Amino acid sequence: MLIREQLPLAPLTTLGVGGPARYFVEARDEAEVIEAVEFARTRQVPLFVLGGGSNVVVADAGFSGLVLKVAIPDVSRSGATWLAGAGVDWDDLVAQTVEANCAGLECLSGIPGTIGGTPVQNVGAYGQDVSETIREVRVLDLRSLETKTFSNADCGFAYRTSIFNTTERDHYVILQVSFVLHEGAQPRVHYPDLQKFFAEHAGELTLADVRSAVREIRHRKAMLIVPGDVDARSVGSFFKNPVLPQPFFEQLAGRLESRGLQLPSYPAADGFRKLPAAWLVEHAGFTKGYTKGAVGISRKHALAIVNRGGASATEIVALKDEIQARVQDRFGVQLVPEPVFVGF
């Protein structure tokens, strides 16, 4: 296992900001993951687990401990069950499942990052959540250094959350994930953007059709990592869509209607309503293409805070804070960031 020192982290993230890691290691199997954790313990330094770098904001000072990049490879399949190491590229796995005519992940095409990050935030897009197909998650318990396997129910999945980023945050390193898909099933085309995309399509849709459409839609919104596209130098959606109790939603909707604004919303669990965070951001004055120094809002999607080139993490966080404060002031709604903040 190679331990590197003072390794720059910005090039390992899609946002492209942040300082170096005091120590850095890339672990390609479970034994190396355990060895890396023991290294951090021996030196009494904090540990941060890095996946594809698509959902992190690294502080300008970097990280004073060990950054562990879990790069466990390999994908295997037995019927409709797929097993993938935490270091496997997520979109590569989706492509393989679509090619094999296994439904369940096609709407999650084009999402950057690795397998290990998907259960943590219960990644979802265009009408699918990864928790719908996860069977088991194999982890390393950082307290006992023993491996464990969690069932889907054990993971406590909810909207963009799991036990891995809430009650058990920083207690486990994800090593492997298994998925149960649906061989020969029809693709899911429930999401409005997809229905609009295929409005004039004649004939039966394939999984490949839906995967291609999702990637095209994401590209139009700069939510697909494309080299040279400055609007894609982001973490994707920076804020989660707020979920409000029905009475609060009705009160807010009524207040906005008196000002001539129609508040969009979608049904959520237990009678709650989900608001599009992008709408709140735009109507708080941060429209697409907004620029403030080296940072700004994507020209294609109001939820993406972008590094226009040479931005610092401090500038990214300052714009985040400004957006949150303005939305809170105008709508009484608190926006919760999606990315993980490292070294702050």
Residues with a known catalytic role: 160, 237, 338
Distance of CA 160 to the CA centre of its chain: 8
Residue in this structure with the two tokens 């959540």, named with its chain if needed: 129
- Residue 313 to residues 16, 131, 239, 290, 306, Cα–Cα distance (Å): 9, 31, 16, 18, 11
Dihedral, 71, 77, 78, 80 alpha carbons, nearest 10: 110
Sign, CA torsion 267/297/229/11: negative
Name residue 172's beta-bridge partners. Answer: 141
327 neighbors 335 (Cβ within 8 angstroms): yes
